[in-house]
Amino acid sequence: MSRQHPQMRVRMPPELRTQVEEAAKESGRSLNAEIVHRLEESFDSSSVQGLRDAIARLEHLREVEEARSASYHVREAALSLDIVEILGPMNDQQHLPERWQRVYELAEANLSEFLEKADEHSALLEKLQTRLEDAKARRDAQQDDQSKQPNE
C-alpha cells in the first residue's frame, strides 16, 4: 500500500478497533492493511458467494438429517403400531403377562408421540418435495440453456 493513496479518517467504537488490532496482529498486517484487506474482501463477490454456497450446503445437510430422522420415526411408529395391534386384543382381555403389558404401553406411548408430531413430519416432507421440484426445474433449465448454445 502506497502512502500516496488518499487518507481517510474513520470513527469506530473502541471495541471494534480492538478486534481489528487483534486480527491485524494474528494476520501479520498493519492496522491499515487489515482494514483495507477486510474492505476489499467485503467487495469480493466470489468470497460472499462462497459463504452463501456454504450456508446453502449446511442447510441442505440439516434437512437431509431431518429427513433421515423422520424416516426413522416413521419406521419406529410402524413397529409400535404392529405391537399395539398384536398385543391389543390380549391386553383388552387382560391375558397379557406383565412384561408384555409394559411393551404394549411403551408402544402405545411411542405411537401417540409420533402422531402428535405428525404435522412436523408433514411440513418437512412438503419442504423436501418443494426443494426437489426446484432442483429438477434448475437442472431442466440448465439443460435447455446448454442445448440452445451452439457447439464450438
Asked if residue 54 is part of any domain, the answer here is: no
* Same domain flag for 24 and 90: no
28: left (phi over 0), alpha (psi -120 to 50) or beta: left
pLDDT, position 23: 92
In a domain, 111, yes or no: yes
Residue 7 lies in a domain: no
Task: Note the helical H segments in 28-44.
Answer: 31-43
Q: Are residues 26 and 64 in the same domain?
A: no
- CA 26, 28, 31, 32 dihedral sign is negative
Chain-centre distance of CA 118, in angstroms?
A: 20
Q: Residue 94: which region, alpha, beta or left (left: phi > 0; alpha: psi -120 to 50)?
A: left
Q: Within this chain, do residues 33 and 96 fall inside the same structural domain, yes or no?
A: no
Query: What pLDDT was estimated at residue 151?
Result: 60
**Does residue 1 form part of some domain?**
no
Query: How far is the C-alpha of 8 from the C-alpha of 32, rounded, in Å?
Result: 11
User: What domain count does the chain have?
Assistant: 2
In a domain, 72, yes or no: yes
pTM higher than 0.75: no
pLDDT score at 150: 66
Burial of 63 (0-12, 13-18, 19+ CB in 10 A): middle
Residues 73 and 128 in one domain: yes
- pLDDT by residue for the chain (152 residues), tens only, comes to 567 888 888 899 999 999 999 999 999 999 999 998 888 877 776 777 777 888 888 888 888 887 787 778 778 888 888 888 888 888 777 777 888 888 888 888 888 888 887 777 777 777 777 877 887 888 788 778 777 776 65
Same domain for 74 and 22: no
| b/e 29-49 (16+ beta carbons within 10 angstroms → b) | beeeebbeeeeeeeeeeeeee
Residues 37 and 66 both lie in one domain: no
Tell me which residue range forms the domain holding 30.
14-43
User: Are the C-beta atoms of residues 96 and 87 closer than 8 Å to each other?
Assistant: yes
Q: Which three cell numbers stand for residue 104?
A: 404394549
On whether both 81 and 115 belong to a single domain, the answer is yes
One domain, residues 100 and 30: no
Question: Does 80 lie in the same domain as 24?
Answer: no
